[in-house]
Amino acid sequence: MSTSMATGSAQLDATLTPPRLRVAGDWTLAHYATLEKVVATTKALLSDSTAIDLSALGALDTAGASLLVNLLGAARLGDLATAEPTLPTAQRALLQTIGLAMADYQRPKPVRRQNSATEVLARIGGTMEHVWHQQRRLLGFIGLTLETLARTIVQPRSWRVTSLVAHVEQTGLDAVPIVALLTFMVGAVVAFLGSTVLADFGATIYTVDLVAFSFLREFGVLLTAILLAGRTASAFTAQIGSMKANEEIDAIRALGLDPMELLVLPRVLAMLASLPMLTFLAMMSGLVGGALVCALVLDIPPVMFVGLVKSDIGVRHFLVGIVKAPIFAFLIAVIGCLEGFKVSGSAESVGEHTTSAVVQSIFVVILLDAVAALFYMEMGW
């Protein structure tokens, strides 16, 4: 079992009583592969009665010490390091340290691989549990926001008017071009597709009703909410998340200020003010886009288009659409702020929660819009 002179060795002399294991040479990382084989061969021949001789031990590092622990055991090696008088102090300390470190080590149990069906079900269950906890947090945060609003609204001194106006500009005024352009184009597309389909039935005049119904009841508020979910909810999450990562929110609390009052309420109120106005703009832009297509393709002049809208479309269709805007605005703002507070402190976490805020906001908006459509249908509105 001996190796080269510089390389460590472990020679077992079975002729003595009790047998003696002589550990010699350099036990270092440079000889790790060779020493590992020596340990594997020698370990099976040792017993508790085998005497150990470390007097010829040469150079030693942590790799060699770990191999000696594997060969002799952590407790036994620690006792030998203490009792061996010829060991240098540095080697004795190293053997004792490595022995103590490896004494508590437990080899991890192999993970039992589950079949594909079980893994799929486990993943679905984990996702559902995560969604459940997420919705509970959202409901709790909504309650906290409403409580802060009720407490603040009767204290004019605590109103953050400057912050509110700044956020109205950011969420509302700056979003006017994209909202108007997108809804104008969608209105034109809806009118063009409607005229193409209705032409087969000789009912192209009802393209006006199609555009008006779709934008006043659904498309105006839905497209605006989805745009702001992607544009504003992500901005709220990134802003608050960056403050959380930089420990600015902790500084706000240390100054005796309420982050809900300082950061959340101005954003929520700004969304409540901006989304209804943008929804009205989206409805008008969609109607203008539809009127343009009707004028160019169907020879329906704008005056006739407006007259048909006035005669066929009641005000209740406008109210049915606009009443959903504050609800969507509140939920989008609350989700964006909540995800910002969830940021753990790294740039990666900011990105993850920003994405989560957009996905959650869009999902909630579409889900509530579908529920509202079913409710309106059952009520005959």
pLDDT tens column, 70-92: 887 777 777 777 777 777 888 87
Q: pTM (2 decimals)? A: 0.69
Considering the domain boundaries, does residue 173 fall inside one?
Answer: yes
pLDDT for the residue 6: 66
Same domain, residue pair 159 and 251: yes
Q: Provide the domain limits for residue 47.
A: 9-103
Residues of the chain with pLDDT under 50: 1-5
Q: How far is CA 215 from CA 162, 280, 293, 353, 364, in A?
A: 34, 10, 15, 32, 20
H or E element that contains 49: none
Domain-ending residue, one of 43, 71, 103:
103
DSSP string for 126-157: HHHHHHHHHHHHHHHHHHHHHHHHHHHTT-GG
The total number of structural domains that make up the chain: 2
Same domain, residue pair 256 and 351: yes
Q: Under a CB-based contact definition with an 8 Å cutoff, are residues 235 and 354 in contact? A: no
Supply the CATH number for residue 71's domain.
Answer: 3.30.750
Same domain, residue pair 266 and 164: yes
pLDDT for the residue 38: 84
Same domain, residue pair 196 and 289: yes
As a residue count, the chain comes to 381
Reported in sequence order, the residue ranges of 76-187 that DSSP labels E, i.e. its strands, are none
